[in-house]
Chain A
Amino acid sequence: MRMRTPLLASTAALAMLGLAACGSGSGSGGSDDGAIVWDMWSGSQADTDALNETLEIVKKENPDVDVRLQTAPWNDYFTKLTTNMSSGNLACLTSMNGQRLSTYADAFEPLTDADLKTAGISRDDFAPGALDIMTYDDQLLGLPFDVSTMLVYYNKDLIDAAGAPEPKIGWSFDDFEATAQGATTDATKGFAVGLGEFQWMALPIAMSGQQPVGEDGTLALTDPAFADAATWYSGLVTDQEVALPAASASDTGWGENQYSGGNAAMAVDGTWNAVSYLGNDAGFDAGMVDLPTGEAGSTSLVLGSGYGIAKGCENKEAALKVLGSLVGKDAQDAMATSGRSYPARAESQPLYFSSLDKSVRGEVEAAFDAAFADVEAQRSTKDWDKVNTALQPDLVSVYNGQATMTDVLGQTQQQFGE
């Protein structure tokens, strides 16, 4: 009992200290010894090895700068980024995924033309639309290192066995339905619906020619054209029965797993998984085509990731030079040749295909060319991330016929639409 007062006092004092420490975080360069820290996600030792190779290229091009690589697995990366941001400990060079840029836009220093000049980079170096990946609110917040878009992946073995028409580049939604229906048998389904943001949204967007975010940056989930297309999409499960309903809202990669497990003949996923699908564990022959064309043309989005300079970076000039090397020709060529990612730099892109096996090279290149032919920038709202988090469990209800797509889109619009 006697201890209570001093204990309370010291607790209060400590609490004040803690609060003060929290309040004083205001952005810094991340490292105390003048080194430029490059923060990047990495899922495996192989990823880290590849990043270290890039680091060597960067060091060779900038011998006077001390660059240090820091990695975390994909999901942890963003949790860590959030904590680093709130404590003002962002790494000077912070990697960012384009779809999440809107959430983290405050963390990045907008890049000016003078900055690009310091970095030794020209806007024309990049593939058309690539810079949009790292642009938010009309400000360029970083430079992209890879570009991607959504494709329809298909299982040639299942489609052949069922005698369904094989997907072809430039196909229509009628062709898509014909394949999905033709490939649906007692044992397997013709298609697998997605739960991830563009794994499910890509087809409704392609069909309606309408993004769920308006040109003014407001949420437009209830846009009639998009909502109709989304209803058609969930109807693939509930009406046409060419796809299985998701088994649980915790299966975030539902459609992709169904496809790679050989349970569904088609699924939508990003170009980033092309290489892993080609060498799938289930051992089936994988093919890929661009998204089907809707009445409003073929609308697909350019996605990807890049590197930005954190606000408050103390040695911005050195950081810019490192940034220039990270997305420079040598680093991009190395990334493309290894087949790890489809590079954002236009001249490095052909090298990506040379890393593929000859038997699939032509097909993949044709699919990529068609898919990237006229991509448009992805528009997002400030809380786009939250919108998707909120939608995901509701989609499961929709696929299971216990809610309608219109209701779910309406509720989400109401929750996040102000």
Chain B
Amino acid sequence: MTTISSAGTRRSSRSRLSRIESRQALGFMSPALVGLALFTIVPVGLSVVMSLYDWPAFGERSFAGLGNYVDLFTSNPDFWPALRNSAVFALLYVPLNLVVALSLALALGPRIRGRAAFRVLFFIPVVTPIVANALVWKMLLQPQGLFNGISVSVLGVELPNFLADENWAMTMVVVMSVWQGMGYNMLIFSAALEQLPAPVIEAARIDGAQGWRMLRSVVLPMLSPSIFFATVMTVITALQVFAQPQLLTGGGPGNATLPLVQFIYNQGFKFQDLGLAAAAAWVLFVLIIGLTAFQFRAQKRWVHYEH
């Protein structure tokens, strides 16, 4: 009897306390909640509404139902190319970025002297302003730039007009983006490599695992949680790419390097059609959420957690 009642009072007092605490917590949270509501939830909600309206930056707004979405998929000349460009960019950028970052992380193993300095070097592009990066790349790549200059004077070969040639522009946007973004993933992989449990590695060594076999069967599976994280994040940033094409190629030539986010920007702020831009933004959102959900589902097959 006594034990039960005492347990009962304790439980009720704890829950009363937690009620008070959660109320207090709510009080402390409210400034942040107001901020979140004002600057995140309301705009997000508003963008749903916007996407259903014919919403010019100024002038009459009218309800359009799903008209904007229908427009995007059936009559807009740039939307499908923008989707295609985003897909092409992601398909090229994500694997390339991961492979380069992982190779760098592996190459900068414990035996390399001054590897901390190398890591800093490879990480610098991530932290320098992208505008500066893009301008430097533009200077390298344009016909009057460094690459063509060297090629003409040394080899006598005229290089293509990289940023204005529809067959090269996307490649160059990807190359520049990989250079810019690889340092971040490299750091993640480096950190994970340092954390690899020594006993496992040692055991594998004793069993005779070496080189490629060691990498494929021991290191990579143990790195898989980091690879998974890096993949998810890189896919998201790839689908959100904007600054590199905007600054390097202006989305051109034609619409050869116009990705989805730049399409949204152009519709909203250059063509002042906010409804269409909002609709395209929701398409992008669904795409990213869908891909991320798929990745989380698929991870069961290849990601190994230690416990």
Interface residues of A (CB under 8 A from B): 3, 7, 10-12, 14-15, 18-19, 79, 82-83, 85-86, 103, 106-107, 244-252, 263, 383, 385-386, 389, 392-394, 396-397, 399-400, 402-403, 411, 415
Contacts and interface: CB of A to CB of B under 8 A. Distances in A.
Contacts of A3: 26
Contact of A11 (B42, B58, B165, B166): B42
B108 interface: no
Contacts, number: 117
Given A248-B163, A249-B164, A389-B266, A14 B41 contact: yes
B58 A394 contact: no
Interface stretch (B114-122, B215-223, B241-249, B280-288): B241-249
Contacts of B266: 389
Mostly, the A contact residues are: helix
Interface string B41-73: 110011001000000011100000000000000
Given A15-B49, A86-B57, A244-B143, 5 more contacts: A7-B33, A249-B252, A383-B271, A400-B165, A403-B254
Given A247-B142, A248-B163, A397-B166, A11 B41 contact: yes
Nearest to A388: B270
Contacts of B57: 82-83, 85-86
B296 interface: no
B253 interface: yes
Contacts of A15: 41-42, 45-46, 49
Contacts of B49: 15, 19
Given A15-B46, A82-B57, A402-B166, A389 B270 contact: yes
A386 B271 contact: yes
* B contact residues, range: 35 or more
A88 to B, nearest CB: 9
B164 A248 contact: yes
A249 B173 CA distance: 13
A355 B57 CA distance: 41
Contacts of B133: none
B269 A79 contact: yes
Given A85-B57, A399-B164, A411-B77, A394 B143 contact: no
Nearest to B58: A85
A415 B77 contact: yes
Contacts of A85: 57-58
B58 A248 contact: no
Contact of B144 (A107, A263, A402): A263
A386 B270 contact: yes
Nearest to B41: A11
Given A79-B269, A86-B58, A399-B164, A18 B250 contact: no
Interface string B136-147: 001001111000
A393 B252 CA distance: 5
Contact of B251 (A107, A252, A393, A403): A393
B253 A394 contact: yes
Contacts of A86: 57-58
A392 B253 CA distance: 9
B264 to A, nearest CB: 14
Contacts of B163: 247-248, 250
